[in-house]
Amino acid sequence: MSGGGMESINNSRGGGKGREMKRCGFQMPLHYPRYTRAEYEVMAEWKLDCLLAQYGLHPHVSGDVEHKRKFAMGAFLWTY
């Protein structure tokens, strides 16, 4: 484009003079989980793993199920 310094972007996978937009593998969910503190305290480890993975946090959390519960409550509850 002339004048404004704007760059055109080509979203198509075909040719073109614009830059292609590439997507990464992670997509942030739209809402926070709505579990209560009591639900986190009895949540199974597999469910915690799925929840943390959904928000891209699973690789950063290691340890036993109690550590994962505390991490999830700290990350997702407004008042911990």
**Tens-place pLDDT, residues 11-50:** 555 555 666 666 666 666 778 899 999 999 999 999 999 9
Residue-by-residue DSSP string for 15-78? --SSEEP---S----SS-----HHHHHH--HHHHHHHHHHTT-GGG--S-HHHHHHHHHHHH-S
- How distant is the alpha carbon of residue 28 from its chain centre? 4
Domain ranges of the chain: 26-76
Tokens of 61: 């959390």
- When pLDDT is cut at 50, 70 and 90, the band that residue 77 belongs to is very high
Give the integer Cα–Cα distance in Å for 37 and 61. Answer: 19
- When pLDDT is cut at 50, 70 and 90, the band that residue 8 belongs to is very low
Q: Which residue has the higher pLDDT, 72 or 18?
A: 72
